[in-house]
Amino acid sequence: MTSGILNPPRWLFVDLNSYFASVEQQLDKKLRGKPVAVVPMKTDSTCAIAASREAKKFGVKTGTMIRDAKRMCKGLILVEARHERYVDFHHRIVREIERHYPVHVIGSIDEMGCFLDDRRANEPAALDLGRRIKRGLLEKVGECITCSVGIAPNRWLAKTASDLTKPDGLEVIRLEDLPGRLEHLALTDLCGIGRNMEPRLRQAGIHSFADLWKAPPAVLHRVWSGVGGDRFWHQLHGGDLDEEVVTRRTVGHSHVLAPQFRETPEAGIVARRLLLKAASRMRRLGYRAREMSVSARMENSLRGEAHLRFPPVSDSHALLAHMAGLWERVLDQTGRQRVKKISVTLHGLESSGTPEQLELFPALGSPVAADRARRERLSQVMDDLNQQFGRDSVALGFAPDKARVFSGTKIAFTRIPDAREFQE
Ligand SMILES: [Mg+2]
């Protein structure tokens, strides 16, 4: 565990290698092992937006003019970009990573960050997770889908670590190995130092990573002309700017009811359905909740809201039991009027670890833990069945046919739904 270690690895960062080009090679076997440049259109006067690892050996990279790229690499194959494919693979990649561990931050279409919980915040566990993710991507998403994984005390250092070896890297940056470990990098190799920043750093006498490491926060504040410099200094030295993002995480759904479902019995079913959706999503992200809030707005504009804290749970039965009391309180506050809109949110999320871990609980011999593990597994099985056979194949406490009517993902949720939610 983390006790006694001052700066444990807290982030695992995944950076896909030559992403667009790798997806094209995955989709078309003829492109594998060949130098490929992905282009917005097939003309010499455009730039490569991605280059396969084979093309990179010739010096072709993102931004290289195609006219030049063809000179550098004789057999270069141009492929027109197909962004919908890259988005599709992005979702498949995130899904595969989340089979191993929740993704907390999507950096871009080909970058994902995971905040490591106490169990994973040590090098052997983090490296093991990194290897499993890499293997999972190759086996489940595609043999061309390689990535570089970086592990470090914060997200910025983890991203920097993922840049150290390409393709197919797995690197750890420890705070105690700095600045030596990164001394070979040019300032512009670092995320957050662009072409404009470099001359400003030089003007302040900062020419190398070692200089940057020694620079006091006040100097970086001046170079960045503001708090951006303080933030940069902070993350350079291992501080975490993301922790709040992670710990504040919530999962919730809200729904405006069609007029025929606004009487309280029907509205109650919708509320339960929203909770089950949120719970399913939460389990997929690998969390348990410690708090729930339920709110409703009535047709006459009255609002009701109720909130409850409880020991961490993820299983649907326990959450529905908590919900029942909250829903009654909301109805009491609002005089049991016709309900127009319902929101259900799970807060205080904490990592529940992997499904394998849950199976270990019964072995601990505690009947409470065993019971919780059994119910969590049941919820997980229901998620899997719904995933496999379609939404509401299995539901708790009300007829699936009736539930399906109000629970479509098409309805106006406050977030963009991802593909999987159509099956929840
Ligand atoms: Mg990349």
Which residue type occupies 171? E
Q: Is the model's pLDDT at 399 over the cut of 70?
A: no
How confident is the model at residue 408, as a pLDDT?
37
Does the bond joining 179 to the residue before it have cis omega, within 30 degrees of 0? yes
Q: Is the model's pLDDT at 278 over the cut of 70?
A: yes
What's the CA-to-centroid distance between 24 and ligand 1, angstroms? 14
What's the CA-to-centroid distance between 70 and ligand 1, angstroms? 23
How confident is the model at residue 156, as a pLDDT?
95
Flag the least confident range among 56-60, 256-260, 289-293, 395-399: 395-399
Q: Please, what are the domains in the chain?
A: 11-17+85-177 (3.30.70.270), 20-82 (3.40.1170.60), 183-243 (1.10.150.20), 249-423 (3.30.1490.100)
* pLDDT tens digits along 176-220: 999 999 999 999 999 999 889 999 999 999 999 999 999 999 999
What's the CA-to-centroid distance between 109 and ligand 1, angstroms? 9
Average pLDDT, the chain: 84
What's the CA-to-centroid distance between 167 and ligand 1, angstroms? 9
How confident is the model at residue 422, as a pLDDT?
39
Mean pLDDT to the nearest integer, 49-78:
96
How confident is the model at residue 363, as a pLDDT?
38
Counts for the chain of helices (H) and strands (E), in that order: 16, 13
CB 152 within 8 A of CB 146: no
For 286, the token pair is: 């690998």
* pLDDT tens digits along 238-255: 987 775 555 557 888 889
For residue 260, CA distances in Å to 263, 301, 401 come to 8, 18, 16
* pLDDT tens digits along 117-152: 888 999 999 999 999 999 999 999 999 999 999 999
Give the whole-angstrom CA distance, residue 338 versus residue 343: 15
In the block, which residue shows the tokens 């960050």? 113
Give the whole-angstrom CA distance, residue 314 versus residue 392: 19
Mean pLDDT to the nearest integer, 311-316:
88
Flag the least confident range among 6-20, 164-178, 397-411: 397-411
How confident is the model at residue 86, as a pLDDT?
92
DSSP letter for 103, please: -
What's the CA-to-centroid distance between 50 and ligand 1, angstroms? 9
The set of catalytic residues is 111
For 348, the token pair is: 């205080």
* pLDDT tens digits along 83-117: 889 989 999 999 899 889 888 888 888 999 998 98
Using pLDDT thresholds of 50, 70 and 90, give the confidence band for residue 368: low
How confident is the model at residue 5, as a pLDDT?
56
pTM beyond 0.75: the answer is no
